[in-house]
């Protein structure tokens, strides 16, 4: 009987430890909770989708490019007349950005879309960018950019240089087609 009681106590402690480790406000939890729902689209993209052979990148820009590891996107499309559902889901997405481990970098609007950019890292380098793009007419997307010691100030220069690069747009086409339907 004593052995059974010990086993039950250890099992309860293990279950408590596992449950307490779950970060309810994290992007990982948000994606796991929403990725299999039919109203959401999820994509994982690799920087290797970009052919840099036509881009003339400096050593530093190549270093910035190599600091990117993965881009994950989860998107929700607004459906006709379902403002309540959009608002509910958008509030859940915004809650992730309030997690204290994410530091707000900037907010801005462009062409009817609102953008919020948060980061994990320090003043000089970033290990994760989190972007929330939203439009009540279209929907919203959460973009997570993972990397190692990414340099935000060099990102703009790299994006400008990559205009000449050949991008495999098949994955991005899925995202654009999703919002067009």
DSSP for 3-47 reads HHHHHHHHHHHHHHHHHHT--TTSHHHHHHHHTTSTTEEEEEE-G
What is the mean pLDDT of the segment spanning 43-70? Answer: 74
Instruction: Report yes or no: 75 and 38 within 8 Å, Cβ to Cβ.
Output: no
What is the mean pLDDT of the segment spanning 107-124? Answer: 86
Give the whole-number percent of the chain exceeding pLDDT 70: 64
**Is the confidence at residue 21, as pLDDT, over 50?**
no
Which residue, among 166, 95, 91, has the nearest Cα to 136 in the 3D structure?
91
**Is the confidence at residue 90, as pLDDT, over 80?**
yes
3-class secondary-structure state, position 109: strand
**Is the confidence at residue 134, as pLDDT, over 90?**
yes
Report which of residues 82 and 177 the model is more confident about. 82
Q: Give the model's confidence band at 11: pLDDT under 50 very low, under 70 low, under 90 confident, else very high.
A: very low
Domain ranges of the chain: 23-180
Give the whole-number percent of the chain exceeding pLDDT 90: 13
3-class secondary-structure state, position 97: coil
Q: Give the model's confidence band at 54: pLDDT under 50 very low, under 70 low, under 90 confident, else very high.
A: low
């Amino acid at each position: 009987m004593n052995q059974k009681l010990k086993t039950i106590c250890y099992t309860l402690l293990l279950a408590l430890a596992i449950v307490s480790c779950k970060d309810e406000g994290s992007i990982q939890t948000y994606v796991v909770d929403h990725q299999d729902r039919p109203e959401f689209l999820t994509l994982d993209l690799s920087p290797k989708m970009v052919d840099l052979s036509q881009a003339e990148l400096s050593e530093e820009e190549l270093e910035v490019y190599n600091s990117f590891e993965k881009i994950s996107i989860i998107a929700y499309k607004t459906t006709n007349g379902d403002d309540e559902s959009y608002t509910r889901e958008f509030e859940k997405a915004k809650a992730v950005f309030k997690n204290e481990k994410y530091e707000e970098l900037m907010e801005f609007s462009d062409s009817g879309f609102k953008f919020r950019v948060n980061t994990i890292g320090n003043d000089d380098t970033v290990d994760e960018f989190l972007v929330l793009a939203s439009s009540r007419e279209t929907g919203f997307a959460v973009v997570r950019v993972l990397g190692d010691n990414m340099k935000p100030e060099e990102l703009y220069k790299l994006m400008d240089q990559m205009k000449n690069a050949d991008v495999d747009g098949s994955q991005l086409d899925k995202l654009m087609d999703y919002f067009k339907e």
